[in-house]
Amino acid sequence: MINDLWYKNAIIYSLDLETFMDGNGDGCGDFEGLTRRLDYLDSLGIDTIWLAPFQPSPNRDNGYDISDFYGVDPRHGSSGDFVEFMNQANKRGMGVIIDLVVNHTSDKHPWFQKARRKDPRYYDWYIWSKKRPSNWNKGMVFPGVQKSTWTLDPKAHEYFYHRFYDFQPDLNMQNPEVRAEVRRILGYWLELGIAGFRVDAVPFILEESPLTAGKGAPYLHFDYLTELRQFLQWRSRDAVLLGEANVLPKQNMKYFGDEGDGIHMMFNFYVNQHLFYALAAADVRPLQKALHATRDIPETAQWGQFLRNHDELDLGRLTEAQRQAVFAAFGPKPEMQLYDRGIRRRLASMLSDRRRIELAYSIMFSLPGAPVIRYGDEIGMGEDLSLPEREAVRTVMQWSAEPNAGFSSARKPTHAVISSGPYGCEHVNVDAQRRDPGSLLNWMVKMIRLRKECPEIGWGLCTIIQTQTRGVLVLHFKWRDGELVTAHNFASEPQEVRFRIPGADDTVLVDLLGVTDAQPRRQGTYSITLDEYGHRWYRLGHAGYGLQHSRGVPIDKRRGP
C-alpha cells in the first residue's frame, strides 16, 4: 500500500512547543497547548508534525542544548502530557517526528559534568585536547558570532571541541559506548510511538575526530547512517530518518545510501537556495539545473521540500553574484542578514506581495518530494529584527488579535509577540483568516488538499519541460496512468508559454485550480498564458485521477511503486 512508504507524500508541519500555544498560562508553549490546537492542524490538512527539541535544557540555543535525552522539559509539561498528546495526534491520523540532536549535548548534561572531572567512563564521550589545537578558530558554524571550535574547560584544564556554541560540547561519535547510547535514545522515543526523527547536523555526526583528521576535508563515517537505519527498522518498520544535511548534489547518494540503506529523507537545501534565486531574478535556469542535479535518488528515498525553517535562509551554495541578487531582493539591509551567508526573515515579509507568496508555495507543493511548512507561514507571519540572530523568526504563533496574539494568558510570554506593524497580530492571525474566504490560510488549505490529490508528485518521474522562457518553470509528472503538469511564472509581467508534452497527442490539460483548460494546438503542443507571478496545475485527460488514487492502491514490492 502507498501508506507503507507514508513519507513519500506526507504534509509536514514544523513547530516549536515554546512558541506555538501556551496551555497552562505560564507564558511558555507546552504539550497541553499543542494538544488543544491539533484540530486546527487537522483542518489544515497536516498529517505529520515535526517538533523542535522539547527535552530538558538550559535553553541557551532554542532547546538544542539538551541536558537529558529521556524526558520532557518541565516548561513544556510532563511525560504524561507528551503521551496524551501522542494519543490525540494518532487519533487524528497524524504522525509525529522529533528532533534527534546527538552531535552535541549541553555543557550542563551529567555526561559532560562527569567527563570534565575525568570520570573514566565518560571522559572519552567527548573530544579533548591537552593543548590548544592550531585550528582552534576554524570551522565555526556561526561565523561572526562564534569565536572558536575549541574552548578551555576550567575544571578539566583541557580543551574540548564544539562545532556549535561553546556551551554545546561535541559527543565523540567514534566511541562505541556513545553510539550505543544513541540507539537507546532512539529506542526510548520509538516505544512512545513517534513516527521518526529529524536528525540534526548529520554531516557533523559522521565526521571523524578533529584530532585524527588530516588537513583536507574530514572523513565521514557513512556506515553509521546504515547502522541507525538498521536499528530503526528492527524497532519500527515505519519510522523514518529525516536528515539535515546541506550538501552538494554529488554527495546525496552517500547519505541516502547506494542501496537505499541510509537515511530515508533529506531536506533539499540545494533546490531551496536556487528557488529563492529564481524568485529574486525571475530566472529559472539555475533552478532547473538544481532539480536535475538532485533528481536521482533511491526509489524508497524522498526529499523534504521547504521554503523557510527555524534558521536563517542559507544561501551558501549559490554563486557570489546569485547570493547578492537574493540579498538585494529579500534582505538588502545589514540587520536582515546573518553569518555572511543568509537572511533572517520570514517568507511573507521577504516576498511582500500576496501573489508571490502564493507562487512560492505553489512551486514548493509541486516540487518532487514531501512539502514541509513552517508554523505561521500559512497565515503570512513576519519577523522581529530587533531580536538577536535567528530569534527574529521564532516569535509566537499569532492565533488572534487578543493580547499576546492569543498564544498565552500570561502577563508576559517568554518569547516575543509581534503586536505592531503590518505583520502584527492585529492584522495577521488565524482567527481572522479562518473567517475570510479569500485569506492566505484558506488558500493554503486548498493547496494542501490539491497536493494530496496529486500522488504523482511524491511517487512519479519528474521531467522539466523546456519553454524557451527563462522566467517560467514547467514540470511534468508521470506515475502509472496519471500525468500532471505544473507551470509557474516568476516574472512580474504576464507570459505566453508554448511547450510540448511527448506522447500527449490530443489530450486536454484539465485546469485543477480553475476552469481554463488548455487545448492542444497540434499534436502534443500547448500554449498557455500565465499572469504575473501566475501558476497553473493541470492533469492530462481528466480531473478525477488523484481523488481515486490518493487513498492507497497496491504496490508490487518486487517492482517498486
Known active-site residue 244: yes
Q: Tell me, what DSSP letter sits at residue 259? A: T
What is the amino acid identity at position 542? H
3-class secondary-structure state, position 22: coil
Q: Work out the number of other CB atoms within 10 angstroms of the CB of residue 494.
A: 12
As a whole number of angstroms, the distance between CA 483 and CA 224 comes to 38
3-class secondary-structure state, position 267: strand
- Cα angle vertex 255, ends 251, 260, to 5°? 120
As a whole number of angstroms, the distance between CA 517 and CA 228 comes to 48
Known active-site residue 312: no
As a whole number of angstroms, the distance between CA 534 and CA 488 comes to 6
Q: Is the dihedral of CA 61, 64, 67, 70 positive or negative?
A: positive
Pairing label, strands 509-511, 535-540: antiparallel
Grid coordinates belonging to 86: 501522542
For cell 490529490, what's the residue?
Answer: 453
Q: Give 272's Cβ-side CA count (13 Å radius).
A: 25
As a whole number of angstroms, the distance between CA 442 and CA 148 comes to 47
Grid coordinates belonging to 264: 530515508
CA distances from 6 to 136, 145, 235, 255 (A): 44, 40, 17, 20
3-class secondary-structure state, position 190: helix
Of 22, 30, 244, 384, the active-site residue reads: 244
Q: Element (H or E) spanning 100, and its range?
A: strand 95-100
Question: Going by C-beta distance under 8 Å and a sequence separation of 6 or more, which residues neighbour residue 443?
Answer: 358
DSSP E strand stretches across 288-424 = 302-306, 313-314, 337-338, 342-343, 370-374
For residues 51 and 15, the answer to whether their CB atoms sit within 8 Å is yes
**Per-residue DSSP letters for 128-164?**
EESS--TTTTS--SSBTTB--SEEEETTTTEEEE-SS
Of 107, 200, 312, 358, the active-site residue reads: 200
Give catalytic residues, as residue numbers.
Answer: 200, 244
